[in-house]
Chain A
Amino acid sequence: MMLAAAILIPMATAVLCLMLRRRAAVARLVSLAGAVALLIASVLLLVTVLQGGPVAAQMGGWPAPFGITLVADLLSAAMVLITGIVAVAVAVYGLADVTRNEERRGHHTLTQALLAGVCGAFLTGDMFNLYVWFEVMLIASFGLLVIGGGKAQIDGAVKYVGLNLIATLAFLTGVGLLYGATGTLNMADLHGIVPGRQDEVAILGAAALLLFAFGAKAAMFPVFFWLPAAYHTPSVTTSALFAALLTKVGVYALLRVFTLVFDAGHPSIQAVLLVGACLTMAVGVLGAAAQNGIRRILSFHIISQIGYMVVGLAIYTPLAIVGGIFYLFHHIVVKANLFLIGGLIARRTGSEDLDRIGGLWAARPWLGVLFLIPALSLAGIPPLSGFWAKLLIVQASLEAELYIVAAVALVVGLLTIFSMSKIWLEAFWKEAPAGTPAATGTVPALGAAATAALLTPALALAAITVVIGLMPGPFFDAAQVAADHLVTPDAYVRAVLGGASP
């Protein structure tokens, strides 16, 4: 019941928002209330899992592996919790950022549908059901991307839709092959069948197709180009939501499927993952260096950071997986925050193009401090959360004697500092260029309520970053338990196939 709540709450909120689409003021609050309810439900779910281990629920009462199973181990529960946090942050920020026009065209309905899809993907225990939740998430994100209706949005959406549909079809074919080879699609059931048969052509083929599909969703090299084409085009609220959650669902799917079903330690899978992850890190950060818009720089950094998470899976030692999971949590918070703050900078200066803004340090020093927290965390400066995440990954790669990987991770970290300092220098220290709104003081002022709505979520997320950074212990322990659940999924399998239901 608790498991389904995380999916049912956003769905019910989506229905309510659809009914209330002509009363924007009410729909806005309903959407916020739905996000808060999701957060509460996710906290309850996390507490349950922390106390009693993985829980499972069979939809319609059909026993696994015949019915659809929802299942939460610590990784799933934590991902749902962080989804709840992002949902609330984005809903609050949206109070002052989403335009009336976007609201009328279903911003709240689509956002909630997206959340339902994301939570569904985190909680399902069935391959085909995972495909369905991916689609729910995808079609909602298509809608969110184009409701503004601008040329750049439509152009970005064409590329986003195109590549994601190809990935979707690869996913579907992979699922089909897997079913043909094993006769089941329940992940816990597959765990008992696949590992011994990894070298069969059909199973390895399915693994390759799924790797391509999840890699494309996670924006891995070489199938990442949909992301920088699309993420900077919609409203800040929407792009923060995308940046925080969409690619991470791909990473989650990689983590889940390539530990539980397939074995990422299989030589050919591991080679692809390692090379792909390193190239992803490098290409992302180099791409960012060539950009000039704040959100475009940040979009490329998502790609580079995805590389770190996947490298954690690719090294495939317990420590590396802990690092990957820790990175995943830290990055969702930091990246959502950076997009929100990027939006704040644009609001204060009238543009997000670094050539057209400047002088923010003199005008708004607090905004600078607020920006520095997630920016330095992203680059991996101690004592912020990103430092511990990077430390774990580098340590794990050194222990596994993968020195090239460690070197790439360190160099990419340095280049990340370069990108962040570029934003800092251009937006904060440089004088505002003559003739721009920032210099002439013609930027529309923000009301007190709007400032509060825009600032509160950024502050809260920055606080989370600092807390993780200063007290990494409990989070590290939690990541360790989550990694244990992944590497030795006995409790997970028992929860699903044992028929136990909370």
Chain B
Amino acid sequence: MELILAALVGLLVAAGAYLMMSGYLVRFLFGLVLLSNAANLAIFAAGRLTYAAPPLIPEGALAPGGPVGNALPQALILTAIVIGFGLFAFALALSFRAYNALGTAEMNAMRHAEPVPAPTPTAAAETERPA
């Protein structure tokens, strides 16, 4: 089971990295999602995979009855998923906005913050937008 998960993590990272290499914002974001799932699966596998009951303590008892799964990785992953979800939602909204404002979703064409140096310094100054 660990082997399958490890292979899956590798596959997700490879696919994510491949998508990120493409210069398009949306593919980059999809790559990011794959990477974040790979990270979560890695944490899950790191917490040991066992056949066990959910880590719930029955009413009146002080400790769980039998062997239970490791709850900590699940808590970590849940936190990471929530944070990752928030960040991804922000990144999606940002890229939508970037597409509308800059008129392109291709990374190489996004040069507003760092304009390509023009032949004369004064021409470069024209394109720069000081805040």
Which of A161-169, A308-316, A388-396, A406-414 participates in binding chain B? A161-169
| Interface bits B23-38 vs A (CB < 8 Å: 1, else 0) | 0010010001001101
CB <8 Å contact, A132 and B79: yes
Neighbouring A residues of B125 by C-beta, 8 Å: 292, 353, 355-356
Q: Is B68 located at the chain interface by the 8 A CB criterion?
A: no
Interface of B is mostly: helix
Neighbouring A residues of B46 by C-beta, 8 Å: 176-177, 179-181
**Central interface residue in B35, B73, B124, by most chain A CB within 10 Å:** B35
**Central interface residue in B25, B36, B42, by most chain A CB within 10 Å:** B42
Which A346-365 residues have C-beta < 8 A from chain B?
346, 351-353, 355-356
CB <8 Å contact, B131 and A233: yes
Q: Is A154 located at the chain interface by the 8 A CB criterion?
A: yes
Q: Is B56 located at the chain interface by the 8 A CB criterion?
A: no
CB <8 Å contact, A159 and B113: yes
Interface residues of B, count at CB 8 A? 45
Q: How far is the CA of A166 from the CA of B110 in the complex (A)?
A: 19
User: Which residue of B25, B38, B102, B121 is within 8 Å of A292 (Cβ)?
Assistant: B121
CB <8 Å contact, B130 and A156: no
Q: How large is the interface on A (under 10, 10 to 19, 20 to 34, 35 or more residues)?
A: 35 or more
Closest partner residue, chain A, to B117 (CB atom): A290
Q: Is B59 located at the chain interface by the 8 A CB criterion?
A: no
Which of A18-26, A142-150, A483-491 participates in binding chain B? A142-150
CB <8 Å contact, B131 and A169: no
Of all A-B residue pairs in the complex, the 8 with the closest CB atoms, nearest first, are: A180-B46, A176-B43, A156-B113, A155-B112, A155-B113, A173-B39, A172-B39, A151-B112
Q: Measuring CB to CB, which residues of chain B are less than 8 angstroms from any residue of chain A?
A: 20, 25, 28, 32, 35-36, 38-40, 42-43, 45-48, 72-73, 76, 79-80, 83, 86-87, 90-91, 94-95, 97-98, 101-102, 107, 110-114, 121-122, 124-125, 128-131
List 22 contacting pairs A-B, 8 Å CB cutoff, sorted by A. Answer: A132-B79, A135-B83, A139-B87, A151-B102, A151-B112, A154-B94, A154-B101, A155-B111, A155-B112, A157-B98, A158-B94, A158-B95, A162-B91, A169-B32, A176-B73, A179-B43, A179-B46, A180-B46, A236-B131, A353-B125, A353-B130, A356-B125
Q: Measuring CB to CB, which residues of chain A are less than 8 angstroms from any residue of chain B?
A: 128, 131-132, 135, 138-139, 142, 146, 148, 150-159, 161-162, 165-166, 168-169, 172-173, 175-177, 179-181, 228-230, 232-236, 292-293, 346, 351-353, 355-356
